[in-house]
Amino acid sequence: MRIESTILEGCFIIHDTFFGDNRGYFFESFNRKTFLEKTGLDVEFVQDNQSQSQLGVLRGLHFQHGDAAQAKLVRVLKGKVLDIAVDLRKESKTFGQHVAVELTEDSHTQFFVPRGFAHGFVVLSEQATFFYKCDNYYNKAAEGGIIFNDPEIGIDWKIDADKVIMSEKDLILPTLSEAKNTLLF
């Protein structure tokens, strides 16, 4: 497992050691001990989630507040997505900045998004199956979000705006400036 730091403290791109032969492949997708040794973070995942989406589906930017905040380890099982993490930690020197990582079924790359970040992704292939582990249980009362096209954040989603497919709920999310006073990170 090779772990690459990003410009956002606590966000890591994980390149797994992949073993393939004529039978198929094998890789260890997570090892808590190795992750702790390489990042200094001791994460215990308690919930796994999976979604399937078509080209242009954009999910995000989502987060959970306070005690319900979640760290996520995300990867793509099928297809290709652009995955985004936005730093919402008010005291962070990178508050409001984001990292974008392309995740594909062939790369087997994973992205670790710590607590205190908004997270989202857009599907860049005909279909994608997206899988993620969470270190805290989902709590509807603690959910929040930031609008995907907030000019203050300036994310290039790598897809034409007219091809984006979103939920009604995600289309009415506030900007970072509008949400800043309600953030509990």
What mean pLDDT value characterizes the chain? 95
Q: In a 10 Å sphere around its CB, with 0-12 CB exposed, 13-18 middle and 19+ buried, how is residue 60 labelled? A: buried
Contact criterion met (CB below 8 Å) for 77 and 29: no
- The whole-number pLDDT of residue 169 equals 95
CB atoms within 10 A of CB 10: 21
The pTM score is 0.93
Give the confidence band of 53 by pLDDT, cuts at 50, 70, 90.
very high
Per the CB < 8 A criterion, the answer to whether 54 and 165 are in contact is: yes
Q: What pLDDT, on a 0 to 100 scale, did the predictor assign at position 182?
A: 81
Say how far apart CA 127 and CA 103 lie, in whole Å: 13
C-beta of residue 11 within 8 angstroms of C-beta of residue 99: yes
pLDDT score for 25 = 84
Q: What domains does the chain contain, in order, with CATH numbers?
A: 45-182 (2.60.120.10)
Residue 115 DSSP symbol:
T
19-23, 38-42, 45-49, 92-96: range with lowest mean pLDDT: 19-23
Q: Which helix (H) or strand (E) holds 37?
A: helix 32-39
Residue 128 sits at φ, ψ, to 5 deg, of: -145, 140
Helix runs in 87-171, H state only: 168-171
> Is it the case that residue 175 has pLDDT exceeding 90?
yes
Place 117 in a pLDDT band, splitting at 50, 70 and 90: very high
User: What amino acid positions are annotated as catalytic residues?
Assistant: 62, 132
